[in-house]
A and B are shown apart, each in its own frame.
Chain A
Amino acid sequence: MKLITHNMLTSNIIKGVTKGFPLIIAPTKVEVKEVDFNPDFVNKMLTKIDYPALYQAANSVGHGEGLPEQLGDDVKDNTDLLKALHNAMLQVEVIEGDLVCPESGRKFPIANGIPNMLLLENEVET
């Protein structure tokens, strides 16, 4: 699971959970897999993601290096920063571990890089 995916996942599908975002990452195995760097793509993605959640996620998996707590206006042309963001969003992958719902504590296992977001019937709002 890449952190950009994490940025889109929520556990508000669980009954009673209202926001469910961002999910807490409890990693046991993290890998960095190379993806071609494209500054335009990173810039566009920044408009779509929730940066505080990405920042938090990157730090929780131990790959927050080079990321500022808040993004300034100078991101666009700052290649070093874009590369760090690229790394955090696309290259860092959680291979094994858990995603934890911040409200209910429900764990979603990540196995072989694939998070399992399936719920039991009694957890779903009907």
Chain B
Amino acid sequence: MFFATAGRGTESFLASEIKDKLKAKISFRDGKVFFNKEGINPKELRTILSLKVAERVFVSIADYDNSAFIYGRRKFLDKIMTQLSGKGMYAEADALVKKTNDIICSQREHFDWESKTLQEKNLAKDKTERSEPEEKRARLEVLDCGSQHKDEPKASAESNRVLSEATYNDHLTFRMSIKCSGRLKKRLDIKRLSHDIGWRIEQASGWKIELRKPNIEVCVHINDEHVTVGVPLTRQPLSQRHYIQDSGLRAPVAWIMCYLADIQSGDIVMDPMCGKATVLLEGFSNWQDAFYLGSDISQCQTNSAVQNIAWSGLRIRGDICVADGLNMPYRNCSADVILCDAPFNQNHVISSTPTMFYKSFLQQIHRVLKPEGRCVLLVSEELISEILTQVLNSMSAGEKINDTGQIHPEVSADSVVTQQMASCDCDDSSNTLEKGAVNFEKGSLQRIHKYRLMSSTQGEESHKGASVAQWLASPLRDLQGAFYYGFEPYHRRLSPTEGPKA
């Protein structure tokens, strides 16, 4: 039994990805997707390691309904200790972790061979350009190896990882990581619990506790409904792509955007506000037969986009321009797909209200997209119904442009397909949206493009800022925090009444 964690709101994508790629039986809840795969072969394991929406994949040690045990400390402790005493699942986890490690080591050799020269070439440049949080992350990763590595965080982090993954002995070492929420939080002494459970696992599994540099981590997540215990298959989250150095957007979200855009061979894919080109890189790494054109109004961003692309070592079919997303220098009807993380994150302020911004942005998109073009926008949940109305308005704007004779989008008399994606914990907004979509279809409006609005704005900030250790320790809670963290600042800043801050 495995389970994979995913950002809030993206579970359903992960579930269908696992269903598609592994043909496994799945069930999912609250950030976790469970799937069963007996007698897994190396090929399937590789497939698991290449899941795109997953944050981390765990071998499940225990997972049970906790609701009957939350009222008594004693009861709870008895239950969890019994659950963790069986030997079978540790043996399974042990074998799987070792197998995975072998695969990763062989893949890394392959990857290193390909990109080593590029990395070396860029190393010096990276050091100065690297953003603060990433540096922090790298530093934390190498904290144990002493100070002599500090000058080259990247290289030493890499070698440290290879070293620790390559030297798994017969006896794995582990440390505990317990996350507890809900009723039991106040009643339990986590430190003691961690000690007790650790001892119990040591007995049952034959692994050794090692606090400083363990091979693996045993993650326990306790809340009022469930207790889930698992061992992550990999030390690095799957969402950390080897081809993305400095991400502006979480890679799984970028992947979902590309996936929703249904990129076809020979498509011209544009991201008119590409930032560091995360979406384009994610797109190119997975759908190589398209042309990716990114532009951003900020030269600083386009420079890091170009660096990111160079660092990835991919010979990308694509280009980067400096251009205003609200005044795109592209020919009419030139793009098959437009992807955009439009609401931005904390770092970017738009010069007008969101309403005005989207009005002109959607008009531009409408002009540049081909007939039957697809557009996927990542937008804030609060704005989704407003944007939907504007999608309607941009339709009529398109017709106006058509009258002037400058562009001739073939207008077909279908209905617009709008879908809200990736929003599981805000039922209100999905209701409004569905209503909107229904009106859309009933109306006599003409379809020109397909729009898909994704509204899961989980901030990547938590991921960047959090150390790897913290991240390991809290695959779930962090993401929840991230959801709100990524959301509020944007909203606070851009609320129409306050106006944007300079």
Report A's interface with B, CB cutoff 8 A: 1-2, 4-5, 8-11, 13, 18, 21, 33-36, 38, 40-41, 43-45, 48, 50, 90, 112-119, 124
Pairwise interchain contact A118-B331, C-beta atoms closer than 8 A: no
Q: Is the CB of B289 within 8 A of A114?
A: no
Q: Is the CB of A21 within 8 A of B306?
A: no
Contact of A116 among B293, B299, B335, B336 (CB under 8 A): B299
Contact B266–A117 (Cβ < 8 Å): no
Count residues of chain B with CB under 8 A from any CB of chain A.
29
Residues of B within 8 A of A44 (CB): 265-266
Most central of B268, B289, B331, B406 by chain A CB within 10 Å? B331
Classify the interface of chain A: helix, strand, loop or mixed.
loop
| Chain A proximity of B298: nearest CB distance (Å) | 10
- Determine if B291 and A45 form an interchain contact, defined as CB atoms under 8 angstroms apart: yes
Query: Looking at A48, A112, A114, A124, which has the most chain B CB atoms within 10 Å of its CB?
Result: A114
Q: Which residues of B contact A40 (CB under 8 A)?
A: 265-266, 289
Residue from B265, B297, B306, B319 in contact with A112 in the complex, judged by beta carbons closer than 8 Å: B306
Minimum-distance CB pairs A-B, first 3 = A44-B266, A117-B329, A5-B319
Interface of B toward A, CB cutoff 8 Å = 265-266, 268, 289, 291, 293, 295, 297, 299, 302-303, 306, 315, 317, 319-324, 327-331, 334-336, 406
Q: Is the CB of A41 within 8 A of B324?
A: no
CA distance A126 to B291 in the complex (A): 31
Assuming A4-B319, A117-B324, what are 6 further A-B pairs, CB within 8 angstroms?
Answer: A4-B291, A34-B315, A35-B315, A35-B317, A44-B266, A117-B329
**Cα distance A42–B67 when bound, in Å?**
60
CA gap between A50 and B268 in the complex, in Å: 14
Name the A residues within 8 Å of B289 (CB-CB). Answer: 38, 40-41
**Smallest CB separation, B213 vs chain A (Å):** 41
User: Beyond A2-B319, A34-B315, A41-B266, is A114–B302 a contact (Cβ under 8 Å)?
Assistant: yes
> In the complex, A5 Cα to B270 Cα: how many Å?
11
Q: Find out whether the CB atom of A11 lies under 8 angstroms from the CB atom of B319.
A: no
